Amino acid sequence: MSKSNAAAVEQSISSDSNSAGLSAEDIKALNDKYYSLDIEARIQELYKDFSQDKVMLTSSFAATSAYLLHIFSRFAPNQKVYFIDTGFHFPDTLAYKEKLTKMFNLKVEDVRAEAWKHEYTVKDETWKTDPDFCCSINKVEPLYNLQGRYDIWVSGLMRWQTEHRATLDIFEERNGIIKFYPLVDVSKEERDLYIKEHDLPFHPLVAQGYSSIGCTHCTKPGDDRSGRWNNSPKTECGLHL
Ligand code: SF4
């Protein structure tokens, strides 16, 4: 695997069209409609506007993933949930995944990089020298290989989390697929209130000062996303850029 190959993968992901065949006007109309709905209504409406077998939901089973997964388990109990197993997760994350899967009766499917590509990043310790390349192999490419089957990709990003996320809309066209961010305008306080009211469990590392939790190599305790790719300008793994 060369870095030029990885760049070619990323370039091939870029596209002007989207698999749902939606125009810019269609996306604007969806945003206009969904902004007037609350979060639960947005998720119910999604399955009226799109077929469930065209909806891709991903979760990193990170700090507060229980929030979005709980809502989906209530309104779309058969929705498949993809987990990108980078091979570098904390054991606590895998335990949290098992816990939420049982609690909410989730249909979780793991997604991984091809073994030889992942092994390359292990031997090269690529997260030290080129974290963008490491993320492209272990996160972006495995998801890209699935993306063609779906029209809509659901993700739980919220605007307050990072500067990049502050510009997101509920529906956006990104790299050939329509992204759906139903939580985009939820405040941290609203999220925490829902978690409290429904008595949902946090990721076990939250109690140890972690707020944003990814791979072991790139996660430190800290507020919000300050603990990710510590001492690096990188703030996103590339999945949502
Ligand atoms: S978060 Fe770090 S270890 Fe995980 S895939 Fe990205 S660079 Fe590699």
Residue 231 has a pLDDT of 54
134 flagged as catalytic: no
- Write out the H or E segment, with its range, that includes residue 34: helix 24-35
Which residues have CB under 6 Å of ligand 1?
86, 88, 127, 131, 134-135, 138-139, 214-215, 217-218, 237
Per-residue confidence in pLDDT tens, the chain, 241 aa: 545 444 444 444 444 578 888 999 999 999 999 999 999 999 999 999 999 999 999 999 998 899 999 999 999 999 999 999 999 999 999 999 999 999 999 999 999 999 999 999 999 999 999 999 999 999 999 998 999 999 999 999 999 887 878 889 999 998 889 999 999 999 999 999 999 999 999 999 999 999 889 999 999 887 665 555 565 655 555 565 5
Query: Do the beta carbons of residue 125 and residue 137 sit within 8 Å?
Result: no
User: Tokens 């604007």 label which residue?
Assistant: 28
The residue written with tokens 């469990």 in the block is 201
CA 96–ligand 1 middle distance (angstroms):
19
CA–CA dist 67, 65 (Å, integer) = 5
Ligand 1 pocket, mutate which of 93, 139, 220, 241 (most atoms under 8 A from CB)? 139
Q: What local confidence, expressed as pLDDT, does residue 64 receive? A: 85
Q: Where are the domains of the chain?
A: 18-218
CA of residue 218 to ligand 1 center, whole Å: 6
Concatenated DSSP letters of 118-135: HHHHHHHTHHHH-HHHHH
As a whole number of Å, the end-to-end CA separation of the chain is 22
161 CA to middle of ligand 1, Å?
Answer: 19
Query: Residue 1 has what pLDDT?
Result: 52
CATH topology for 18-218?
Rossmann fold (3.40.50)
| Nearest alpha carbon, ligand 1 atom 4 | 215
Are residues 85 and 110 in contact, defined by beta-carbon separation less than 8 angstroms? yes
pLDDT of residue 18: 84
CA distance 179 to 146: 14
Give residue 102 CA to ligand 1 midpoint distance, Å: 27
Kindly calculate the radius of gyration of the chain based on its CA atoms and give it in whole angstroms: 17
Atom of ligand 1 nearest to the CA of 127: 7
pLDDT at 230: 61
Angle between the N-to-C axes of helices 66-75 and 188-197, in degrees from 0 to 180, rounded to the nearest 10: 60
